[in-house]
Structure 1
């Protein structure tokens, strides 16, 4: 739009606006327009609301040109023409209105571009690379190895399907082979892990059943939260039909597959077996038939998942990731949290022990969020839990709760909002300094090491804001890390010019990701997955907010350097 055209449009609105006395006549015309919008049948004199406009432009949802025409017509009927004294004012006012309308048009185009990119990448949904199991609804279908994990409500063992599908043969029938352990090879600590994963590619999680009874229906209802990451065919059809109303009285959600969220391949109930280490590790949870002093029930829930070599805690205790790997790991956690939040799930127990880790072909760590026993799932996706009594379960580890959860006081009408609590927990501070969420002050947080990138430090500081209304969402902070990793030059300018450059970069990035396929820069599949997650969740307002935070962080850093 030319400057001349912008001024002419604004003059139409400005002349009538000032002649009518701004508020008085403008209010009458606006009221008239609102009345016409609610009449039966289409309005001739008023344009229809534009659904693409952001919420903050709701006053301008009626066409500016239509509003100017009505104000001008009313002004000339009442006063006649305008005085020459006001023409300079009309010129300035007209230019401003014309620029607003141009901004709306630019926003519409940018929003449409984001929606088109989002639609392209949402069609290419993430598919787990593991081959589907052909059976596996019984405990006898699995060969169980050593114990690889134990928590407060379950034990995890490495496992393998006794009969696993191989590659398709010429007659297109799946060949079956029994998996056997390799007893001849003598292995060190590192090679043992590799061999163990090769022979035991699966993991079986055995829940501890104290008070759920021994019927399959009672067990599934009591432990329904564990089924949130279950695949569509994880249970037999007869068990799928059971009303899994669970702890919160609603059918638990089943989240879609995501590269940073664990996938449950099979879920079934079975008699509790005497597994290796059971008598020493957890004798009290065994049933009386296995331990006379045991308090557990005879049957419980078993979950079959992929076997990961180590947890995030184990990795961080043994290794120091590079700056780029650290940024990618934090970004993966935020992408997983955002995926859960969008589908109405709050994990509520996000810690390094509940994050599993493996490596892609390029050696980049891939993280997955696991253990959904404390999660909150709701149909309306509000993630708000009434907190009228101290007996209401607020989640997992109390020391890792977000401030709004840890400091909540029960009472009539009190509600805990979990929409940003998992994003708060995805920060590196609690492990290093023992962050106390009830008392800490944002100004007293110690600085991260100097080697940490400025964008990661900025994201961490924003996520640790005590007030959840001032804390950005997981989506916004994930966008910040995406832009800092791959689009640093695209957000260096503000205004319409900067947004145009950013949209152009998004189009180029989309083409590059589509051409590369499943591999990202330097052959990393983890980076490819992250880029696809970013492009499949593009929303203009979240992107603009992320850019604003990054520019603010850059300006603050420059001021600090100048003052030093």
Structure 2
């Protein structure tokens, strides 16, 4: 134990002794001590825990009163008998230090109480997640939908636009074509043309079933991870059990609704149809009845979701977001990852192709994490995966695999911790959001297994310093030195809406932030009265709902260190 650490612990314990009466007259202490020893006729009287006593000293709570009396008696005897100047100086310094510690702890308690009150208020007022598609009670068969053209394709599925008379959109969202009229900065004259959300509000994802068999049970077991973002009504229920086309099955964890996580409205199995462009785009995935050379099975899993205008990758190919929109885009990804982590789910395949995008009425992009086929969502594992052999699947997208995952070596008792792996991938995607190549794709030469932090390219000078700080922190190799998605999100929240509080922040105090939180929550509540459904309003409400003093303290500390470093440069 270092001298500094020992002194700090001594000051904490001394402060407790001080508040128990270390400066009271010895005679009063002696009388009180004798009186407590004589009061044996009150069996119900017990020593109550002191709220100011540090948790690590709980063992000594029942004996501190007697210990304080003994120390006070000895101290006053020395003082009356002519104690040395050194002893008197030590007692004086000890008292001053205890006073400062007590003042700081009182302020921390007030700040913690403020955070808890704000969080409780917004938890009560937390609006039920509004689906972009109106609720509907049917749609458990492929025949219920009108299938349009293909709008996406991955390594294990094809996505088609779809429509159904029972599933209209709640509101019409801004499209990529309309974005130029709003004034968003673009670098191409002809942006992508998104699918018409008015005529095809839904999207149907058809999984490619090559090795799972054609039974519903086998399909559900092989593709159950795709159902992690499914709504409670996605699968039919009979006798309180999930039913997939007449067969019972079990599914993994299912994430609760969040604005930045996709929702699956329906899931069912059906016979694979010959959809548009199927023979040209994925002939090997078709069954032999549709393509003699095909390897697929006759039945597969279909997922019904909202039809989004484009992916993040497509958007970044044609648009350059401004600094504020870019910051909110990065923040949304961190909010989505934090929501997954809080429920023990790791996505393990984050990339710009697996992030969908739409626009609010102000033209701000709203990002949605999708494609959970590689996720870790088992009830018994949480975010730690036993890695006993090289045959254990570590996740998709090796280019954006966090260092602790990419460098893990299998062995008895070895576990891979995914609690900060998705946050690392968000840091890498941050380069793409702000118009630079992802440093971990093949053309840049960096690999997550071996890169050094000093090799990371600098973000452009137009990128806010706070965003550059967040990206650097997220891409730290050591996960113990990397902030969680929640702390990184708090840094961006403070950067976007708490500049005034940060400007006057004392490194040893959170009082200014507590004052700002009260004002900020009042503003958000007033805006909420008008039905704020914009991306900015959603982010602010989410921040206040997830308030935590320690996480906020860490975020403020990171920001202050970043400001100091930038000032020194």
Q: 1:95 maps to which residue?
A: 96
1:510 alignment partner, SS class:
helix
Instruction: Map 1:150-229 onto structure 2 (within 5 A).
Output: 150-164=153-167, 193=194, 196-229=196-229
| 1:388-434 superposed Cα distances (whole Å, 9 cap, x missing partner) | 11111100011110001111111111111000000000023474333
The CA deviation at 1:110 is 1.7
| 1:54-88 superposed Cα distances (whole Å, 9 cap, x missing partner) | xxx43355798x87633221235667623244333
Decide which of 538, 544, 548 is 1:535's aligned counterpart: 544
Q: 1:170 maps to which residue?
A: none
Instruction: Map 1:260-409 onto structure 2 (within 5 A).
Output: 260-379=260-379, 382-409=382-409
Q: 1:230 maps to which residue?
A: 230
Distance 2:300 2:529 in 1: 39
Decide which of 467, 479, 486 is 2:478's aligned counterpart: 467
Report if the CA contact (8 A) 2:194-2:310 is conserved. no
1:136 alignment partner, SS class:
coil
**Normalising to structure 2: TM-score of the pair?**
0.81
Q: Does 2:70 match 1:58?
A: no
Decide which of 68, 74, 78 is 1:82's aligned counterpart: 78
The CA deviation at 1:501 is 1.4
Q: 1:553 maps to which residue?
A: 562
Q: Does 2:67 match 1:71?
A: yes
The CA deviation at 1:320 is 0.8
Distance 1:559 1:236 in 2: 61
The CA deviation at 1:474 is 0.3
| 1:530-564 superposed Cα distances (whole Å, 9 cap, x missing partner) | 1011111100000000000000000011111xxxx
1:345 alignment partner, SS class:
coil
1:193 alignment partner, SS class:
coil
Distance 2:400 2:495 in 1: 28
| 1:85-109 superposed Cα distances (whole Å, 9 cap, x missing partner) | 4333222212222332333332222
Distance 1:293 1:9 in 2: 79
The CA deviation at 1:242 is 4.6
Q: 2:141 maps to which residue?
A: 138
Report if the CA contact (8 A) 2:191-2:318 is conserved. no
Note closer, same or farther for the CA distance 1:282–1:444 as it changes in structure 2 (3 Å cut). same
Distance 1:120 1:448 in 2: 38
Report if the CA contact (8 A) 1:513-1:528 is conserved. yes
Q: 1:44 maps to which residue?
A: 46
Q: Return 125-134 or 216-225, whichever deviates more.
A: 125-134
Q: 1:517 maps to which residue?
A: 528
Q: Which runs of 5+ in 2 are unaligned?
A: 1-13, 27-42, 171-188
Q: 1:432 maps to which residue?
A: 438
| 1:2-29 superposed Cα distances (whole Å, 9 cap, x missing partner) | xxxxx9986566969xx9xxxxxxxxxx
Report if the CA contact (8 A) 1:364-1:526 is conserved. yes
Distance 2:306 2:166 in 1: 16
Note closer, same or farther for the CA distance 1:450–1:524 as it changes in structure 2 (3 Å cut). farther
The CA deviation at 1:294 is 1.6
2:268 alignment partner, SS class:
strand
Distance 2:243 2:68 in 1: 63
The CA deviation at 1:193 is 3.0
Note closer, same or farther for the CA distance 1:448–1:524 as it changes in structure 2 (3 Å cut). farther
The CA deviation at 1:456 is 0.3
The CA deviation at 1:376 is 0.3
2:438 alignment partner, SS class:
helix
Note closer, same or farther for the CA distance 1:388–1:250 as it changes in structure 2 (3 Å cut). farther
The CA deviation at 1:119 is 2.0
Note closer, same or farther for the CA distance 1:546–1:201 as it changes in structure 2 (3 Å cut). same
Q: Return 257-266 or 121-130, whichever deviates more.
A: 121-130
Report if the CA contact (8 A) 1:201-1:307 is conserved. yes
Report if the CA contact (8 A) 1:143-1:162 is conserved. no
Distance 2:298 2:239 in 1: 19
The CA deviation at 1:491 is 2.5
Note closer, same or farther for the CA distance 1:144–1:402 as it changes in structure 2 (3 Å cut). same
The CA deviation at 1:379 is 2.8
Distance 2:495 2:505 in 1: 16
The CA deviation at 1:232 is 1.2
| 1:432-486 superposed Cα distances (whole Å, 9 cap, x missing partner) | 3334101111012121101100000000000010000000000000000000000
The CA deviation at 1:44 is 2.1
Decide which of 491, 514, 520 is 1:480's aligned counterpart: 491
| 1:352-401 superposed Cα distances (whole Å, 9 cap, x missing partner) | 00000111000001100000000001336740101111111100011110
Decide which of 507, 521, 546 is 2:518's aligned counterpart: 507
Q: 1:175 maps to which residue?
A: none
Distance 2:306 2:69 in 1: 71
Report if the CA contact (8 A) 2:252-2:378 is conserved. yes
Instruction: Map 1:483-494 onto structure 2 (within 5 A).
Output: 483-494=494-505
Q: Which runs of 5+ in 1 are unaligned?
A: 1-6, 20-40, 168-187
Report if the CA contact (8 A) 1:518-1:529 is conserved. no
Report if the CA contact (8 A) 1:15-1:90 is conserved. no
Distance 1:106 1:63 in 2: 25
